[in-house]
Chain A
Amino acid sequence: MSFHPNEIARRARVASWTLVGIFALLLSAFFKTQVVNYTKYSQQSETNRLREVPLPAPRGIIYDRNNQVIAENVPGYAVSILSASADSLRAALTRLSAIIQISPEQIDLSVRRFSRARNRPVAILADASFDIVSVLEERRIDFPGLIIQSAPKRYYPDGAAVSTFVGYVGEVTEAELTNPRYLGYKTGQSVGKNGLEKQYETRLRGREGVRYVEVDALGRVVREAGAREEVAALPAAPMYTNIDMPLQRFMANIFGDSLQGGAIAIDPKTGGVLAMYSAPSYNPNSFVGGIPPELYKALLSDPRKPLFNKVTSARYPPGSTWKLATATIALQRGLVKLDDRMPVACTGGYQFGNRYFKCWEPKGHGSLTLAEAIEKSCDVYFYQLGLKVGLSELVAGGLRLGAREKSAIDLPEETRPSFPYSPATSYYNQKYGKNGWSQAVILNLSIGQGENAQTIVNMARFYTAFATDGSAARPEVVRDKPERTQILQLSADQLSGLRSALAGVISNGTAGSARIQGVVLAGKTGTAQNSTDPIHNHAWFVGYAPAGDPKIVVAVMLEFGGHGTRAARIASKIIQSYLHVEPTTLINTDG
């Protein structure tokens, strides 16, 4: 080699500066990683080691009007598992299935959930029994990612008696997670599925807390607490409803197992829903923590539709309960007075064109005033009254009474009643074709049949107008601002006349059996024909009490219940229970 000192010195200089350059480059690479990209890597390192274990927030307690509990939270256990990878999760679940029941479908579902949120434990059992928890605790060492924690569990002390309005909670489904309504929800969280639980989800939900556990690279939980400060769950504020639990229980009992239909009781002054029940009902507690599939299947396939809220979602022809609407429309137009008689007296039927329309009373009612016709529910009178009003006004007036509008009760999935729209001729032309219908539709419409199907809640709302100064109250389950709409444009005389006619229904009319001693009950029965079963009619009663100063409006609807008087008897018992009036022997004046 060339070993001249100058040569060596030159090469040493080149080598030294090259070295300094190389190390400066290395150091700048570290600077970039450790200082410039610090936030990114720091977060990644935290994501690596920390797993968020959700601390479910206790849902808001739901109370009735007297602070009786309708829905509360009881201690329960939730079991979930943390994993490092989908494969290890599958393996752990397969091993777990030897101890607790996990179906292959559940394993697939869990793996799908895991891939959506790798940093959260996958829920296995939302509501584990103490026995299962103790077995799992014993074998915890075999399942290093297993997390068992106490979790508040929804409980409805009155079970099936309250499910109609309170609904139930369940785990948020995959479909719901894609819905913008559930933005921010994470798998494993519970969510209101029906009734108040769904309607007031945001109020009842509370704020979920989070606990951090530290895991190693294999997903084993290394530290249960202290890895990072936990965020406590924030319970939701309690919610106060208008429900009167003793009345609610009474209503549920009176329907029992055999009756099918629905009922609602409303305070006419505020619109507060005192009780509502759809029969048959279901036990909301069986949904909490996951309903067994076979039970759910049975509920779904039951022809009596227990999961269907018949009060807000089912539509029935209102039958004679609608006669009050016909009377109101006629009175508002000044076409009739309460003591006016119709040209044709009732002889058990009415000839219209080439068709003969029967009265429900084959013997006939004779000649009646409007007030008497309401009391006796005479069809022949209302056929003629309807014809007098005319189709377009019959429809337009019905619409003004809210016949095609939801009651706006604070419950989800209310069905809009079905009723012709205005102008009526275009409705019927569209429905039946230009020549497919005749003026005979008026006769049906005026007695609450035909193209008219109302929800139970909407009928109750309608009658709150008669129970007050003519304004209908928006039914509300949760105590809020009462809202009223003046729907009856009647003079004081007309209104009081109608009210005494309604009272007459009970004292000597169709609903005589429903009389309550000391309290005058006002209301209207209805016996509605329906297409499902031509022999068994739907039985309606809508009314209020006491007639002088109404405190409660009740609508009862018995599917295939026969004559409206049966519904009236049930309504009267409900009212008795609420007003605490000793029941009297009911006189059956069916006629």
Chain B
Amino acid sequence: MRRVVADYPLILVALLLSGYGVAMVYSAGQTDIPTAATHAWIAQIRWVILSMVLAYGVSRASVRFFEWAALPVYIVTCLLLLGLLKFGGGAGDAASSKSWLVIAGHRLGQPAELAKVAVILMLARELGARREAPRSLLELWKPAVVVGIPWLLIMLQPDLGSGMVFIGIFFAMLFWSGVPLPLLVLIASPAVSLVLAFNTSLWGAWFLALLALVLWYRPYMWEGVTLMLANVFMGVLAPILWERLAPYQRHRLQVFLDPSIDPRNSGWHVIQSQVAIGSGGWIGKGFLGGTQKRLAFLPEQHTDFIFAVVGEELGLLGVTVALSLFLFLVLRAVRTASNANDSFGSLVAFGLAASWLVHVIVNVGMTLNLMPITGIPLPFFSYGGSFMLACWLAIGLMMRISSEGRGGRVGELAI
């Protein structure tokens, strides 16, 4: 029998993160006036244990099995997402969105978490089967469709945050499969145009830079023309799309740009989160001692804004420890990806790393108003069963991939 825990440092860092996370969920529940979060830590421990057991199960399955299962899992996920649009339920702020799988009034979980794994598997299968990385736009249609279908279904819920994770995964895996960076920039350019369209001169500068890139990289003529046209189109489309955003999404974006326009409502979250983190200083107010958290100034303190509790109670020191653990986790995943002995496993490992990274950047960035508020959880920290499960299943998968991989040290950063 194969040794499943081949990568002790990875499992150790996952355990440390989970322990750290449970401690913070516990602290987040300790408020002056008790809330539903008070006992969340007990449930969270149960989820961690269950997740670890299931992760062990996953690590017992061969990578080949996942390669085989990728397509059925992907299809089932897409159907589930489709069904969700009709039968899904909302929660919290986004009560009108349909991200939760609700059966007989019980919220079972968010299929978007499952979809992330399904997309990673399917994309790895698709990209891993090629001999060469896609070199032109036309060659990219298949990976684009693989990500595009679930992405579209999720954006229709709407769940902007998960949508961002999908795009992060897509680009990361294209990069890992060998798509040249200039091509990635060209693919991303219409999206950038979409954002910059609100400032004409910025958009003009971007368009000229893009033109220079096209002339230097020399893609097929039709490709270059299509891309430039797409950029123009996006620039025109942006205001129209803006009109079509749900009011709460539009408001969130406006508040992201300037939280002070609505300090007591939409801007409240991010302002209070920054105050909590900022008032933590070097070493924080002490574990359980965060006043912003304790006196309910900090909203969603055990889920989306748990990192603000870390910042407030443990200061820059606690933040540094947590971010170092995350960095180590992701670097370790990249190591696993580079040591994998087949392209599928390698791409899966890299995709999982990308998924974690996007979660960390979006969630942690949100607490400092570097990212818009999207309700993206922080891996291993945020309270919530399905996401904890997803994180540990990824660890299990990573274990398997690294145990099947080469023992040799090829190209990884020495850590």
Task: List residues of chain A with CB under 8 Å of any chain B CB.
Answer: 1-3, 5-17, 19-20, 22-23, 26-27, 29-31, 33-35, 37-38, 40-42, 44-46, 48-49, 85, 214-218, 220, 222-223
Contacts and interface: CB of A to CB of B under 8 A. Distances in A.
B104 to A, nearest CB: 34
B311 A34 contact: yes
B132 A16 contact: no
A19 B331 contact: yes
Given A12-B412, A33-B311, A222-B32, 10 more contacts: A1-B128, A1-B347, A2-B132, A3-B343, A8-B338, A12-B413, A34-B281, A45-B275, A45-B291, A216-B32
Contact of A23 (B175, B275, B297, B327): B327
B295 A48 contact: yes
Contacts of A29: 365, 368, 370
Contacts of A216: 32-33, 295-297
B267 interface: no
A44 B275 contact: yes
A1 B178 contact: yes
Q: Please list the 9 inter-chain residue pairs (A to B) with the smallest Cβ-Cβ separation, ordered nearest first.
A: A9-B411, A41-B278, A45-B279, A1-B177, A2-B178, A216-B295, A12-B338, A16-B413, A217-B296
Given A3-B346, A12-B338, A29-B368, A222 B33 contact: yes
Interface in B280-294: 280-282, 291-292
A34 B361 contact: no
B101 interface: no
A22 B361 contact: yes
A28 to B, nearest CB: 11
Interface in B358-376: 361, 364-365, 368, 370
B330 interface: yes
B334 A19 contact: yes
Contacts of A215: 295
Given A1-B177, A45-B292, A85-B264, A35 B282 contact: yes
Nearest to A227: B291
Contacts, number: 154
Given A1-B347, A8-B411, A49 B316 contact: no
Contacts of B411: 5-6, 8-10, 12-13
Contacts of B316: 30-31, 34-35
A258 B156 CA distance: 88
Contact of B275 (A16, A30, A31, A48): A48
B337 A12 contact: yes
Contacts of B32: 216, 222-223
Interface in B28-67: 32-33
A220 B294 CA distance: 13
Contacts of A15: 175-176, 334, 350
B111 interface: no
Nearest to B326: A23
A1 B130 contact: yes
B352 interface: no
A125 B246 CA distance: 47
B98 interface: no
Nearest to B178: A2
Given A1-B347, A2-B133, A35-B281, A49 B291 contact: yes
A34 B295 contact: no
B279 A42 contact: yes
Interface string B317-356: 0011001101100110011011000010011001000000
A48 B295 CA distance: 9
Most interface-central of A10, A16, A40 (chain B CB within 10 A): A16
8 contacts: A11-B338, A16-B334, A19-B334, A22-B361, A26-B323, A30-B277, A30-B319, A48-B291
Interface in B155-201: 175-178
B128 A222 contact: no
Contacts of B324: 23
A37 B327 CA distance: 25
A6 B411 CA distance: 7
A11 B296 contact: no
Contacts of B280: 34
Nearest to A42: B279
Nearest to A220: B33
A33 to B, nearest CB: 5
Contacts of A11: 175-176, 178, 338
Contacts of B117: none
B364 A26 contact: yes
A8 B177 contact: no
A5 B315 CA distance: 42
A124 B41 CA distance: 43
B303 to A, nearest CB: 17
B285 to A, nearest CB: 9
Nearest to A12: B338
For B275, B346, B365, the residue with the greatest tally of chain A CB atoms inside 10 Å of its CB is B275
B281 to A, nearest CB: 5
Given A2-B178, A30-B319, A217 B331 contact: no
B70 interface: no
Contacts of A3: 343, 346
A8 B177 CA distance: 9
A9 B337 CA distance: 10
Given A5-B410, A12-B411, A220-B33, A33 B338 contact: no
A29 B274 CA distance: 11
Count chain B CB atoms within 10 A of each CB in A7, A27, A218 and give the residue with the most. Answer: A27
